[in-house]
Amino acid sequence: MGLIRRKNTLQSLQQQAVSDNYQQRVKHLANIDMPLDFLLAGELAQIQTFGIPSISRLLHRTQQYEQAGTKRLDDTRAILTECIGDGVSSERGRFMVERLNFIHGHYCISNDDYLYTLALFMVEPVRWCQTFGYRQLDETERQALYLQFRELGEAMNIRNIPADYNAMEAWYLDYRRRHLAYDAANRAVTEGLIRGMQGMLPKRLQPLTRGAIRALILTLINDDELLAALGIKPVAAPLRWSIVALMKTRSWLFKWLNPWQLRPFEGSLIQRYYASYPRGFTPQCLGPEKIMRRATPDGCPHAAAQAGAAPELESASKA
């Protein structure tokens, strides 16, 4: 009965101090306990940033979501997976943080906008699990998320990171209250992301599923205040209720069943699938294409200086 959910690993982790095993806790949550929840929460966290005009206007100027939304989504997931998978202090993590800082160095981004984006990767998994997860995250798991992403934030030179999860959540809510507002760029970037998510499906299915994917995304955002700031109407109530009921049924089933115990999410077909990189990605070349092209003749900023020196990351992304 390998599908029946077992809690022995989770209970073992909970018996240890979170400061000693936060990386193992987050990896267990994202790889075995509730990987699809963490994947979806991470994707939807990006949409939350679009309600802040200072963020969406910059993204609108770059056209990354509007012109290459699928690639932008794939790049973000790939970079975060490598940064967080073994921790930012690992060889893989250090390399990808260096790339992330290289890419961001081309743009003028305020520390508060960096901090808001960082906070969302802590807060959104918690909020998602409260509504759509098979269980809520407990206080120590919330703190583990905070410690994992605080480490990433420090490696990115983000300043004034609050002292713990609760302080970070309070800062995030206050910043959102003061800055969430409608701007035309909000909707333009959001529509680009939605098209990017639709582009992750096989091309033959895209025309048939375009409306369904849009309705699913807008329902799973689960935030009418954000939708107003994005200038997008909520999904019609009957369809929204149907999607929520389906997600609640999924939550109930996953309370008792867990297929990721048989084979962890890391290495699964879903985790390895990147629509933009069907044969696997080269980590040196993740990022906006115009930055890659300017960096070196072959478009990889580290290729000349670190030829042959990059960690072996491709194996994690190969199908």
Q: Give the pLDDT score at 310.
A: 43
Q: Give the pLDDT score at 302.
A: 42
Local structure of 263: helix, strand or coil? coil
Integer angstrom CA distances of residue 111 from 32, 58, 104, 106: 33, 14, 12, 15
Question: Is-contact 149 123, C-beta < 8 A?
Answer: no
The residue that leads in pLDDT, 89 or 318, is 89
| Rounded CA separation 157/100 (Å) | 11
Q: Which residues contact 275 (CB under 8 A, 6 or more apart)?
A: 70, 74, 199, 200, 201
Banded pLDDT at 194 (limits 50, 70, 90): very high
Tokens of 313: 């990351």
Mean pLDDT computed over every residue of the chain: 88
Integer angstrom CA distances of residue 48 from 13, 163, 168, 198, 230: 31, 23, 16, 18, 9
Q: Give the pLDDT score at 205.
A: 77
Per-domain boundaries in the chain:
19-316
The residue that leads in pLDDT, 138 or 268, is 138
| Rounded CA separation 283/27 (Å) | 21
| Rounded CA separation 28/6 (Å) | 13
| Rounded CA separation 22/5 (Å) | 22
DSSP output for 94-134: HHHHHHHHHHHTTS---HHHHHHHHHHHHHHHHHHHHHTSS
Banded pLDDT at 303 (limits 50, 70, 90): very low
Question: Is-contact 130 136, C-beta < 8 A?
Answer: yes
Q: Give the pLDDT score at 294.
A: 61
Question: Is-contact 45 269, C-beta < 8 A?
Answer: no
- The label of the residue with tokens 């770059």 reads 62
Q: Give the pLDDT score at 278.
A: 85
Q: How many of the other CB atoms lie within 10 Å of CB of 233? A: 10
Q: Give the pLDDT score at 27.
A: 93
Sign of the C-alpha dihedral computed for residues 32, 33, 39 and 40 taken in this order: positive
- CA 189 from centroid of its chain's CA atoms: 16
Q: Which residues contact 157 (CB under 8 A, 6 or more apart)?
A: 101
Question: Is-contact 95 283, C-beta < 8 A?
Answer: yes
pTM above 0.85, yes or no: yes
Is residue 203 over pLDDT 60? yes
Tokens of 296: 């070196």
Summarize pLDDT for 48-91 with one digit per residue, the tens.
999 999 999 999 999 999 999 999 999 999 888 888 877 888 88
Q: Is residue 314 classed exposed, middle or buried when 0-12, 13-18 and 19+ CB atoms within 10 A define those classes? A: middle
Q: Give the pLDDT score at 10.
A: 93
Closest CA to 163 of 144, 147, 139: 147
